[in-house]
Amino acid sequence: MLSLSAATSDKSVLLTWTTATEAENFGFEIERRIIGQLASKESAGASAWEKVGFVNGSGTSSKPVEYTFEDTNLPDGRYAYRIKQIDRDGTYRYTEAIEVSVGDVPTVFSLDQNYPNPFNPMTTIQFGLPKPSSVKIVLYDLLGKAVMTIVEKDLPLGFHRVEFDGSRFASSVYFYRLTAKGLDDIADDRFVQTRKMILLR
């Protein structure tokens, strides 16, 4: 294998790889894994590898050969690909994995301003996670007292929305604070951001 590259377009990934020469090459299995979903710590926030396609090899060739494979209709997210080259006698070897992003995927932690704001009584809070994270959103009153935990759970990579119902609270200014920590982070580094919301009756 001389090279493996990936290009994204809309909801698809186009893989391209080249061999310098081939000897008894049966073909190539294309394997994919999803990065950033909730998973066990052993898999470092990624799904197991799964076969998504096969491309026939050229048998024996003394000239460079280029191959392509397109993976289509993918949901937004981050993916890793690798190629399993298989000889006719059953022996095989893997390429190094290559990672790509498809669609609208957050690259940093973020907490958006709730909308609408002011609101009565419903509003939406949106936030972005660049990796699977333990997330907590707490609502505070003007005196800094915690009055409600809006979210407290482990969530996958991506953009998330939560609806907040303020019907049981009085008209006032409130603050909501997001605390997020990547599930695969060893250090105790946390993302913390606070925004103001206004409830008007």
Q: pLDDT band at 42, cuts 50/70/90? A: very low
Q: Is the pLDDT of residue 157 over 80?
A: yes
pLDDT for res 12: 93
Q: What tokens does 153 get?
A: 């759970």
Mean pLDDT of the chain: 90
- Give per-residue pLDDT as tens, 160-194: 999 999 999 999 999 999 999 988 777 778 899 99
Q: What is the mean pLDDT of residues 16-30?
A: 92
Contacts 24+ apart (CB under 8 A), 166-169: 166/119, 166/120, 166/121, 166/122, 166/123, 166/199, 167/121, 169/199
Q: pLDDT band at 48, cuts 50/70/90? A: confident
pLDDT for res 49: 93
Looking at 14-23, 39-48, 122-131, 182-191, which range is the least confident one? 39-48
Q: Is the pLDDT of residue 158 over 90?
A: no
User: Which residue in 35, 16, 31, 28 sits closest to 81, CA to CA?
Assistant: 31
Say whether 93 sits in a helix, a strand or coil.
Answer: strand
User: Are residues 105 and 151 in contact, defined by beta-carbon separation less than 8 angstroms?
Assistant: no
Look at the pTM and tell me if it is higher than 0.75: no
Q: Please return the burial class of 80, using the count of CB atoms within 10 Å of its CB with bins 0-12, 13-18 and 19+.
A: middle
More confident residue, 104 or 40: 104
Q: What tokens does 11 get?
A: 């909801």
Q: What is the mean pLDDT of residues 40-69?
A: 82
pLDDT for res 40: 44
